[in-house]
Amino acid sequence: MMKEIAEQPEALRRTLKAERAHAEEFKGLARARNFRLIVLVARGTSDNAAQFGRYLFELTTGIPVSLAAPSVHTLYHAHLNLRDALVVGISQSGEGTDINRVLASARRQGAYTVGITNEARSTTAHVVEDVFLVRAGKQHSVAATKTYTGQLMVLYLLASALSPQITLGAISEIPHRVRETLRLSGEVRELVERYRYMRQCVVVGRGINYANAYELALKLMETCYVVAERFSSADFLHGPIALIERDFPVLIFMPPGKTFRDLSRLADRLRMLRAETVVISSAGVRLPASTRAIRVPGLLPEIYTPIPYIVPGQLFAAHLAAVKGLDPDKPRSLQIVTRTV
């Protein structure tokens, strides 16, 4: 897992270099098709990438985005009108049975189908009309890291084809930002000693980093066996905050931007409740009083923060597993490819 976390800058650079011309070509197709709806279909870590894609596309294109419920297609065999829809399947292995069935069904029902996968010879790559490849190299760790960020990179490229708000110049800065963020590994390793006996926690994000709350919580569950609940800050205040008591751990993604004020107010509230709060934010940002902070180097527009911001979360999970005496590469009851219908 640590090796693959460290490989991310180069994997992102490869993906960008290989697929940027493809994204430019897709721009013409998108203009001609005039998509009125985008549907994203995925499972597991890839579903967290899809959650990111939902925010990214709606914020930048104005096109409504839906996250598919695969059982609607695979168990209930519903017939949906998907004319003028772009349906994007996201699968690290390309062998998720339900994902591929949804893509095949969507294609029959009039959608234009695109796959995002790390495997060029996978079933997904053959089911769809167009495929964007994540060039992450072979994934050996069960806990996905470089394939998750690679999927986010491809979603940025797709967004650049659909909207001028996402630029290739800004995207091209991300691999360097990730390389700089990896230098936090030693700092994070020292921090996690504090959480050696952590059995439960809450992870909070909002907006473009909401997906990262899901992804970090998943990594903590997979590799550290921590019961990690994930919420938007808004939903958290509607009831789950009742969980909080003295020293209860809460991890918060808090980038400068539209969500900062809301998340700052939450951090203040948690301080009053004497929670154990860890904030992931940017260097130089004035943060509310919190127990701990992990600061990502440099300042990025909020919309480009998710890839660099998940890296401290990945490091946190990997180092915490090691501190707990667990092997993050061999989580119990899990394997890299999971097939469901």
pLDDT band at 309 (very low <50, low <70, confident <90, very high): very high
Q: What is the mean pLDDT of residues 86-114?
A: 95
The pLDDT value given to residue 330: 79
The pLDDT value given to residue 339: 57
Q: Which residue has the higher pLDDT, 335 or 106?
A: 106
pLDDT band at 116 (very low <50, low <70, confident <90, very high): very high
The pLDDT value given to residue 336: 59
Q: What is the mean pLDDT of residues 59-88?
A: 93
User: Residue 337's CB: how many other CB atoms inside 10 A?
Assistant: 14
298 exposed, middle or buried (CB, 10 Å; 0-12, 13-18, 19+)? Answer: middle
Torsion over CA of 247, 233, 263 and 8, rounded to 10 degrees?
90
pLDDT at 11 over 70: yes
Q: What phi and psi, each to the nearest 5 degrees, are found at residue 293?
A: -140, 140
pLDDT at 341 over 90: no
- Which H or E run contains 166? none
Please state the domain extents for the chain: 2-172, 177-323
pLDDT at 290 over 60: yes
Q: What is the mean pLDDT of residues 287-306?
A: 92
The answer to whether domain 2-172 and domain 177-323 are alike in fold is yes
The pLDDT value given to residue 291: 79
Reading the block at residue 264, the tokens are: 């700052």
CB 288 within 8 A of CB 266: no
pLDDT at 335 over 60: no
Q: What is the mean pLDDT of residues 295-305?
A: 95
- Please give the mean pLDDT across all residues of the chain: 94
The pLDDT value given to residue 275: 94
pLDDT at 333 over 70: no
Q: Assign 91 to helix, strand or coil.
A: strand
pLDDT digits over 190-215, tens only? 999 999 999 999 999 999 999 999 99
The pLDDT value given to residue 308: 98
pLDDT at 252 over 70: yes
pLDDT at 68 over 70: yes
pLDDT digits over 133-183, tens only? 999 999 888 899 999 999 999 999 999 999 999 999 999 999 999 999 999
Q: What is the mean pLDDT of residues 98-112?
A: 95
Pairwise CA distance, residues 166 & 171, whole Å: 8
Q: Whole-angstrom distance between the N-terminal and C-terminal Cα of the chain?
A: 28
The pLDDT value given to residue 269: 93
Give me the CATH code for the 2-172 domain, please.
3.40.50.10490
Q: In CATH, which of 3.30.160.270, 3.40.50.10490, 2.170.190.11, 3.40.50.620 is domain 177-323?
A: 3.40.50.10490
Torsion over CA of 129, 134, 137 and 142, rounded to 10 degrees?
-100
Q: Which residues touch 83 (CB under 8 Å, ≥6 apart)? A: 109, 110, 111
pLDDT band at 316 (very low <50, low <70, confident <90, very high): very high
